[in-house]
Chain A
Amino acid sequence: MSSAADAKQIILDRLRSQVVTAPPLPSLQNEDVITFADLQGQFCETSRSVGAACHVVHSPAELTTILNDLEPFRRARRIVSLLPQWVPGNTDLQNFDEPHSLRSLDWMIAPGLFGVAENGAIWIDFSSISHRASLFLTQYLAILVPAKNLVPHMHAAYERVGRAITQPFGLFVSGPSKTADIEQSLVLGAHGCRTLNVFLLANPEAE
């Protein structure tokens, strides 16, 4: 224990022995940061460019129709739905003590709090999700985001997250898991979800 305390003190003393002066932190205020006239269009375009399928939907029925058109969804045996009022699931995360039992999870349908137009990222709030591993174990992932909750860029995104950032876990997800580690050939479905379907819930006023 004493040696561990020493290591800290030695590192800090070493750093303090060399006084370095620098200006204060910049404010990050910038009027000229990128904006998009059509947030929804931009978000969908970027989302597709990172390998996701992006659908604009108006009702649960519409969403179900799209899902049922997907072969992996029709074949799915274990489905977790965190939006049961939209899509019924058949597996409840809260019934599992260990995330390991979720290894055979086929589909997960989760709510996204908001999306970022510049990079297709969606913020997932985990404060009501038992087993954060579920989002990475599931073979296929679908996320529903209200179109009115789109922000243009990451500056607005972190502002939007605010103090919620200090929750044990928080995530931006942009597209399905992927790798290009074998000769730079892009393969979707590395360790996480094989596909990502993003459903943008249309903004009634904008229609």
Chain B
Amino acid sequence: MSALPIIEHPRAAAEFVANRERTRWHDKALWFVREKRDRMVRTIPEWEWLREMASQIKTHTIANLAEYLEQFERSATAAGAHVHWARDAEEHNTIVLRILRENRAQRIVKSKSMLTEECHLNPFLERHGIEVIDSDLGERIVQLREETPSHIVLPAIHIKKEEVGDTFHQHLGTAAGASDPKYLTEAARDHLRDKFLRADAGLTGVNFAIAETGGIVICTNEGNADLGASLPPVHIASMGIEKLIPRAIDLAVFTRLLARSATGQPITTYTSHFHGPRRDLSGQQTGQLHLILVDNGRAQIRDSPEFREALHCIRCGACMNTCPVYRRSGGHSYGAVVPGPIGSVLSPTIDAKRHKSLPHACSLCGSCTDVCPVRIPLHHQLLAWRKELAARRLLPWSKRLAMKGVTFVFQHPALMNWMGKMSRMALRWTPRPLIYHRWNDWGKGRELPIPPQQSFREWWVKNRGAGSAEVQSAHETDRHRRPKEE
């Protein structure tokens, strides 16, 4: 793969942010999903217990990952599945192509899989003459528009229905100007039914893989994964090695958390459990099931005590829906396969230089940590990344210089007090054009606060300091109380 450009989140977001009406629309659409999540969560009194269980299960599994992977391989193989291992994206793609060639498969249908996005599987297969059809409606829209998903659960959340209408008019022959979601969905249903029926192989992701039984679980609302895994004779399921859970009963915890967190549904429409290949009623095998276990940097994340918990992620997208930066800057501004808070933690672990601006695309409000169903301390990890980037000298010179300056000021209280006083005065008296101009990022899109008359320190000295009236009276009270207590 060619050297990838460095992502500057603020610059990448500039175009999206410039359209205020669209930014507001995007913000509202995601907040709507966040509110649905909240309503759903409030109906479960044991929600916090579920999060704690999920976190403990994942912590245990990631610690013993090698053992659970081996157990999974043994039981999956016993059930009749073929298990493949891939160290990186390239190995993964090569394995998929090999399976397809062995089965003379030319046309494949794919359901949503962030892992195959991560591996850039589609362009790879297309280069080798395979027709790849994304079958999730949102992903199909994005694929026809030659874009990438901007959200891991809602791939087309950045696209307006009129734009979908134009795309479908061009590719599926829907009526010009038609933008009714029901009509467009029906058109996609017809179009994709045909693709499912003609496909030679189906590719899916995996939500959970059960070590003890060797099975995989796939959760969808549309039913596309099930059609893709039930019509063509070959089913290939790609999964990151962190998708494992030890026991079948652990599914209860995760299926209760996943859809509630993702879209505010009590569970996805379909929760499908696959153990080995398709069989007829006599037990005769009628298809193939291939499972590809992919590392692609996950073991490296596991090495780091600071970022290990990021492997707990079940890809619900709740951290994106709640993130004030994501909601206003759009998924594409992250320039990463997984955007939002979890993406900003994961992406720099793969390539810190390329993704160095992402941990700063965060106000440290902590909302992501609050909603995360598996309790990943996301905002702590983002802060840890900033420290790490500074240590690796990956901060831009402007930020580095500013940090040095601030460090010096913080070490000299008298200087800090004087500077505080100066800036309070300056903010009050400086003419607007000198504050609100294109070089001052803090004056863009917002009004700076009206500076208070005095600093907190000045207020303290006056009201709580040794000579203040209140402190005198507090001392009085203290003197009176003490004898009683003894």
Contact = CB atoms under 8 A, between A and B. Distances in A.
Contacts of B33: 184
A99 B228 CA distance: 12
Interface stretch (A5-13, A59-67, A72-80, A84-92): A5-13
Contacts of A190: 137, 185, 189, 221-224
Given A34-B44, A121-B267, A177 B221 contact: yes
B140 to A, nearest CB: 9
Nearest to A11: B295
Contacts of A179: 137-138, 185, 221-222
B241 A171 contact: no
Interface stretch (A106-114, A127-135, A142-150, A199-207): A127-135
B193 to A, nearest CB: 7
A15 B295 CA distance: 10
B16 interface: no
B192 A191 contact: yes
Contacts of A195: none
Interface string B443-459: 00000000000000000
B213 A165 contact: yes
A20 B308 contact: yes
Given A14-B295, A30-B49, A166-B79, A192 B226 contact: yes
B266 interface: yes
B302 A20 contact: yes
Contacts of B269: 50, 173-178, 192
A37 interface: no
Interface of B: 29, 32-33, 44-46, 49, 53, 56-57, 59-60, 62-66, 69-70, 73, 79, 84-87, 91, 95, 135-138, 141, 154-157, 160-161, 164, 181-182, 184-186, 189, 192-193, 196-197, 210, 213-215, 221-224, 226-227, 230-231, 241, 246-253, 255-256, 263, 265-281, 293, 295, 299, 302-303, 308
Interface of A: 4, 7-8, 10-12, 14-16, 18, 20-26, 28, 30, 32-34, 46, 49-50, 94, 99-100, 103, 116, 118-121, 127-128, 130-133, 135-137, 153-155, 157-159, 161, 165-185, 187, 189-193
The 5 A-B residue pairs with the shortest CB-CB distance, nearest first, are A192-B223, A119-B266, A22-B63, A181-B138, A190-B222
